[in-house]
Amino acid sequence: MEEGIVSFSDWSKLNLRVGKIIEITDVEGADKLYQLTVDLGTELGKRTIVAGLKPHYKQEELKDKTCIVFTNLEPKKLKGIESQGMLLAAVSDDESKTKLIRPDTEIETGSKVR
């Protein structure tokens, strides 16, 4: 298989869902990190996710924003906080711009991305 090509079976392992950011706090001692509480609907509940969004978004800009969440990523501790997923974002080549990937219209929290 060509390098960089992902098989359909690998793609199907990803659990991507629509989430809603319901709480945002600063991570102590981190210039770039927020601790987010993300609602993923009734099936998956709420998750804590640590994300490097502080240089790109103010807390009030993130509150109640919908986004796409990689929900079955292995948890990882960042600054002592267990991050239970990853928000998907588009990032410019020089990393000066980061924009969350979002549904273009309203859809239920927890909806699958396929």
Instruction: Residue 57: give its domain's CATH number.
Output: 2.40.50.140
User: What is the span of the domain harbouring residue 29?
Assistant: 14-100
73 lies in a domain?
A: yes
The pTM is what? 0.92
Q: What is the total count of domains within the chain?
A: 1
pLDDT digits (tens, 9 = 90+) for 35-91: 999 999 999 999 999 999 999 999 999 999 999 999 999 999 999 999 999 999 999
CB 89 within 8 A of CB 57: no
Do the domain assignments include residue 96? yes
CA 45 vs CA 16, 38, 39, 71, 100: distances in Å:
14, 8, 6, 11, 21
- With tokens 């804590």, the residue in question is 48
Rounded CA gap, 114 and 111, in Å? 10
* 3-class DSSP assignment, residue 62: helix
Residue 62 inside a domain? The answer is yes
In whole angstroms, give the CA distance from residue 78 to residue 50: 7
Judge whether 1 lies within some domain: no
